[in-house]
Amino acid sequence: MSESLKHARELYAAGDFQSTLVAARAALEEDGADRAECLREMGKACLELGLPEAVDHLQRVCELQPDDASAWRDLGDALATEGRLAEAVRAWETGVTLRPEDSGMHVSLGHAALATGDTDEAMSHLKYATQIAPRNRSATLSLVDLYREHERFDDALGVARAVWDSAPDDVLAGMDVAELCLAVNALDAAQEAYERLLKLDEEAHDIYARYGLIDVALRSQDWARGSELAAAAARVDSSSRTSQLLTFFADRAFSSIEPSQTSADVGAALVASQSGVFALPALLEPQEIPSLSDVERSLAEARFEHRRMHVEAGAL
């Protein structure tokens, strides 16, 4: 490899795509230049820069090295960027024929199938991608979302559990497991998942795992447990959402008290904390009691917020 081509690759690795293009062009002009590799670097740089010349450069690489799976993958990416999806699919299909275990191209083919409405083809590629690369987040997220969209919650849960087993520190995988357990009404499993998330997620986000546990209590109609969890949440979070949940559960808990219960029974059911015992009414400001639909909507919004935070953090 020439020093000029080596320099172009270093610039690409450093994210300086404009300089990569200049260096690769210079390398191409040298005597004895490796034309395919110079064109590859030029095409990849143009792709990153959003220049349409990427397709021409990468097509020439495929002509020079027709057995190079990576060249067909890059060409497919460039064609897709230009909106030439049918041509991109043909390039990726050539690539996976040469390298069947390339999970990235299977994901690309899966997404292309989704774009054309071929759900079965999309599932086939995405499922295979998750089998050969369980930590490929694009594949697993897409497959879980696709299963969820078609209300195949058990299939979605199976994929999410496999991902979390292979990557136990993956908060998004844990969120998928917890939420899908709720979807199939596996409340004990959902509680276990949220308890894991409470320990796993960063401290600034732990309120969302607490909301998940409260959601389990809501679905179980365990008002005393929900009151206990909402009171604990209120001690670490003063948002209107937490206050709303505390008000709702306290009202339901008090409403469910049987006349025959003693004050000791009531106290045991309705008060708890890590550092002492607090009566729930003392934590509440006078306010309107929220409806069940209000609480369900608030918890759904919390799930969405939590997921968005982690997706955005992962994209940085």
Of 170, 195, 220, which residue constitutes the final position of a domain? 195
Of 195, 215, 235, which residue constitutes the final position of a domain? 195
User: Can you give the CATH number for the domain in which 189 is found?
Assistant: 1.25.40.10
* Cβ contacts of 207 within 8 Å, gap of 6 or more: 233, 236, 237, 239, 242
Q: What is the pLDDT of residue 256?
A: 72
Residue-number span of the structural domain to which 309 is assigned: 201-257+264-316
- The pLDDT tens digits of the residues spanning 208-240 come to 999 999 999 999 999 999 999 999 999 999 999
Q: How confident is the model at residue 260 (pLDDT cuts 50, 70, 90)?
A: low
Q: Do 38 and 15 share a domain, yes or no?
A: yes
The torsion angles phi and psi of 66, rounded to 5 degrees, stand at -65, -15
Q: Do 163 and 243 share a domain, yes or no?
A: no
Q: What is the pLDDT of residue 257?
A: 61
pTM over 0.95: no
* Cβ contacts of 247 within 8 Å, gap of 6 or more: 284, 287, 289, 290
| pLDDT above 90: percentage of residues in the chain | 70
Q: Do 188 and 211 share a domain, yes or no?
A: no
- The pLDDT tens digits of the residues spanning 59-112 come to 999 999 999 999 999 999 999 999 999 999 999 999 999 999 999 999 999 999
- The pLDDT tens digits of the residues spanning 270-300 come to 444 333 334 444 444 556 899 999 999 999 9
Average pLDDT score over residue span 308-315: 78
Q: Do 16 and 83 share a domain, yes or no?
A: yes
Nearest to 20 by CA among 49, 41, 48: 41
Q: Do 221 and 289 share a domain, yes or no?
A: yes
Total structural domains within the chain: 3
- The pLDDT tens digits of the residues spanning 101-137 come to 999 999 999 999 999 999 999 999 999 998 888 778 8
Three-state SS sequence of the chain = CCHHHHHHHHHHHCCCHHHHHHHHHHHHCCCCCCHHHHHHHHHHHHHHHCCCHHHHHHHHHHHHCCCCHHHHHHHHHHHHHCCCHHHHHHHHHHHHHHCCCCHHHHHHHHHHHHHCCCHHHHHHHHHHHHHHCCCCHHHHHHHHHHHHHCCCHHHHHHHHHHHHHHCCCCHHHHHHHHHHHHHCCCHHHHHHHHHHHHHHCCHHHHHHHHHHHHHHHHHHCCHHHHHHHHHHHHCCCCCHHHHHHHHHHHHHHHHCCCCCCCHHHHHHHHCCCCCCCCCHHHHCCCCCCCCHHHHHHHHHHHHHHHHHHHHHHHHC
Q: What is the pLDDT of residue 314?
A: 67
Q: Do 290 and 271 share a domain, yes or no?
A: yes
Q: Do 316 and 234 share a domain, yes or no?
A: yes
**pLDDT of 269 over the 60 cut:** no
Q: Do 75 and 5 share a domain, yes or no?
A: yes
Q: What is the pLDDT of residue 182?
A: 96
Q: Do 222 and 313 share a domain, yes or no?
A: yes
**pLDDT of 262 over the 90 cut:** no
Of 144, 176, 195, which residue constitutes the final position of a domain? 195
